[in-house]
Amino acid sequence: MELIYILIIPALAAGLSLIPGKKKFAPAVTLLGTLIILVFSWATAVHTSRGEEMVALRNWVSCDSLAALVLLLVAFVGFTAAIFSWGYIEKIVGPDDPGKIRRYYARYNLFLLSMLAVPILSQVALVWIAIELTTLLSVFLVSFENTPEALEAAWKYVVLTCMGAAFALLGVLILYWGMSISGKGPFTWQGLVDASSSISPVLLKAAFLFILVGFGTKAGLVPLHTWLPDAHSQAPSPVCALLSGVETTTVLYAILRLLPILKGAPSIQVETWFIVFGLLSVGVAAFLLIQVKDYKRLFAFSTVEHMGIILVAAGLGSSAAQYGATFQMVSHALSKSFCFFAAGSTLLAVRSRDISAVRGLIRTSPVAAVALLLGGLAIAGAPPFAVFLSEISILKAGLASGQYLTTGLLAVFIVIAFCGILFPINRMVFGNPGEPSGNRVLGATSVITLVLAAIPILLFGLYIPEPLHELLRLAAVSLGR
């Protein structure tokens, strides 16, 4: 039943948020709703980490370990971003437009609902619709600030991802075709894995390519990434945390689900496709990172890089690499959302997105500066943060399975991206301030969010709790065949 509640609560919260009245009502309802969702998702994850599936409605609404992992990530970032929104949205909207704040929270809840639905639904056709809805329900969150740049970003976002979705739709329909030729089974991820050996490889390959191109557009894989830095930098920072941290992860989840289905047909060489697309994304993003002039864009490009890393890890094939892929999904989602909270705090403090406009932040706004530094180190993959561990485990698995060229290229690109992220952040934090720019004290909710979001990325860099380890292991197993 937990899974049904997880779907009902955000819908309910969205409706309640629109009720006019006390100013704090909508944020409070959202915060409460996301907290309950987090508790239920936690319970689901604990349940599945024992190796059992969580089923609410067989073949329609259910969660295995991989789905529960994604669900937990969405719920956690949904909760922290809701806390961050509390102070942030009020500051950027101003006190004289309470209706706009209510609309923000209604959209926030609906967007969260669509993202939660992706791992929970098991019918592939419905998953496609849920992914399409994550775009459509977040468009007005991207354009929330109503500047010409935000509107441009929202337009590119919706046009490119909807084009991608149409291609993915054809892929999903071809999968269904293959299913119905091979005999009847439920059109679920598991049903497809079971039937995969009797589906014609030609159909599987066509479906895979259509879905890879279609959902790859939405996951920000190069060369279909052009909308991503725009949308992920123009949206309000808590929305960026959701978009970059978990929306991309949910889409990538749908792509990774194809892996066990396609492994039965070696002629497709799904691993090669993953490695080529993944390395291309990591490489191009690493070089584009160097020339970025806007620090939110910096983190957006780093998302493209990390999507590539996860894809390469999944393509490496060995079970250790697949463990690395699931671990990387976790560490990326947690670190990237933290980075955008830090970027949002910096934006509140200095009112500029330009890297060159921010110097010596450590003196003017120490909390934002420390957060930015931690975020930069964490996402670039410095020890002792979670991304460091997950990247090391991927590289180690790559070397162990003898794929030296792929692993070497991946390592080089990661190092380039490391420098590309940390040089500008170093200048922003420690540089010599020409004139003191802004000296604003951060609100309590921002500080709480930063502390709360920092805990897991530090903790998982030092040690992984046993239930999480078990969940990651089972999720990695479900990527294999």
Partner 1 sequence: MSELTSTFSVLAQLAALTAGLFLLTAFGMVAMRQVLASLNLFVWQSVFLAASAFLLGIQHASIHLYAVAAITLVTKTVLIPWLLRRTISQEIYARREISQVLNIPSSLLISVALAIFAYFVSTPLLGVSGEPLVKLNLPIGIAGLLLGAYVVMVRREAVPQVIGILSMENGAFFAGVAIAPDLPLIAELAAAFDVLIIALVMGLLTRRIHERVGTTAVGQMASLKEE
Q: Give the nearest distance from C-beta 147 to partner 1 in angstroms.
A: 8
Q: Give the nearest distance from C-beta 470 to partner 1 in angstroms.
A: 34
Of 34, 143, 337, 364, the one binding partner 1 (CB under 8 A) is 143
Considering only residues 226 through 265, tell me which ones interact with partner 1, judged by CB under 8 A.
229-230, 234
Q: Should residue 391 be labelled a site residue for partner 1 when binding is judged by CB under 8 A?
A: no
Q: Give the nearest distance from C-beta 148 to partner 1 in angstroms.
A: 5
Q: Give the nearest distance from C-beta 305 to partner 1 in angstroms.
A: 15
- Burial letters 334-371, b for 16+ CB under 10 A, else e: bbbbbbbbbbbbbbbbbeebebeebbbbbebbebbbbb
Q: How many residues bind partner 1 (CB under 8 A)?
A: 47
Q: Give the nearest distance from C-beta 159 to partner 1 in angstroms.
A: 6
Of 169, 411, 422, 459, the one binding partner 1 (CB under 8 A) is 169
Between 421 and 468, CB nearer to partner 1: 421
Of 174, 368, 374, 416, the one binding partner 1 (CB under 8 A) is 174
Nearest to 251 by CA among 117, 77, 394, 139: 117
CB 378 within 8 A of CB 372: no
Considering only residues 281 through 310, tell me which ones interact with partner 1, judged by CB under 8 A.
288, 291-293
Of 66, 84, 93, 132, the one binding partner 1 (CB under 8 A) is 132
Q: Should residue 187 be labelled a site residue for partner 1 when binding is judged by CB under 8 A?
A: yes
Nearest to 427 by CA among 326, 481, 346, 331: 346
Q: Should residue 173 be labelled a site residue for partner 1 when binding is judged by CB under 8 A?
A: yes
Q: Should residue 180 be labelled a site residue for partner 1 when binding is judged by CB under 8 A?
A: yes
Between 151 and 422, CB nearer to partner 1: 151
Q: Give the nearest distance from C-beta 200 to partner 1 in angstroms.
A: 5
Instruction: Indicate the residue type of 376.
Output: G
Q: Residue ranges of the alpha helices (H) in 182-294?
A: 189-195, 201-219, 228-234, 237-242, 248-256, 258-262, 270-290
Sign of torsion over alpha carbons 412, 416, 421, 422? positive
The three-class DSSP label of residue 437 is coil
Of 13, 75, 158, 239, the one binding partner 1 (CB under 8 A) is 158
Whether the link from the prior residue into 95 is cis, omega within 30° of 0, is no
Region from 14-22, 152-160, 431-439, 466-474 binding partner 1, contact rule CB under 8 A: 152-160
Q: Please, what is the angle between helix 386-400 and helix 319-350, to 10°?
A: 150
Q: Should residue 148 be labelled a site residue for partner 1 when binding is judged by CB under 8 A?
A: yes
Q: Should residue 38 be labelled a site residue for partner 1 when binding is judged by CB under 8 A?
A: no
Backbone torsions φ then ψ of 291, nearest 5 degrees = -100, 10
Q: Give the nearest distance from C-beta 152 to partner 1 in angstroms.
A: 4
Of 7, 28, 39, 151, the one binding partner 1 (CB under 8 A) is 151
Q: How far apart, in Å, do the first and last CA atoms of the chain sit?
A: 29
Q: Give the nearest distance from C-beta 112 to partner 1 in angstroms.
A: 17
Q: Should residue 423 be labelled a site residue for partner 1 when binding is judged by CB under 8 A?
A: no
CB 364 within 8 A of CB 439: yes
Nearest to 199 by CA among 110, 268, 145: 268
Considering only residues 201 through 220, tell me which ones interact with partner 1, judged by CB under 8 A.
202-203, 206
Region from 20-28, 94-102, 131-139, 216-224 binding partner 1, contact rule CB under 8 A: 131-139
Residue 63 forms beta bridges with which residues? 54
CB 332 within 8 A of CB 302: no
Query: Which pairs count as long-range contacts for 268-272, CB under 8 Å and 24+ apart, including other chains?
Result: 268/201, 268/204, 268/205, 268/208, 270/208, 270/315, 271/315, 271/316, 271/317, 272/315
Nearest to 244 by CA among 215, 216, 214, 219: 219
Residue whose entry in the numeric block shows the structure tokens 């799904």:
270
Q: Should residue 477 be labelled a site residue for partner 1 when binding is judged by CB under 8 A?
A: no
Q: Give the nearest distance from C-beta 145 to partner 1 in angstroms.
A: 11
Helix (H) or strand (E) holding 63: strand 61-63
Of 149, 356, 400, 463, the one binding partner 1 (CB under 8 A) is 149
Q: Should residue 195 be labelled a site residue for partner 1 when binding is judged by CB under 8 A?
A: no
Q: Should residue 176 be labelled a site residue for partner 1 when binding is judged by CB under 8 A?
A: yes
Between 125 and 411, CB nearer to partner 1: 125
Between 356 and 439, CB nearer to partner 1: 356
Between 64 and 230, CB nearer to partner 1: 230
The three-class DSSP label of residue 39 is helix
Between 83 and 150, CB nearer to partner 1: 150
Q: Should residue 409 be labelled a site residue for partner 1 when binding is judged by CB under 8 A?
A: no
CB 41 within 8 A of CB 6: yes
Name the site residues for partner 1 (rule: CB under 8 A): 123, 125-126, 129, 132-133, 136, 139-140, 143, 146-149, 151-156, 158-159, 162-163, 166-167, 169-170, 173-174, 176-178, 180-181, 187, 200, 202-203, 206, 229-230, 234, 288, 291-293
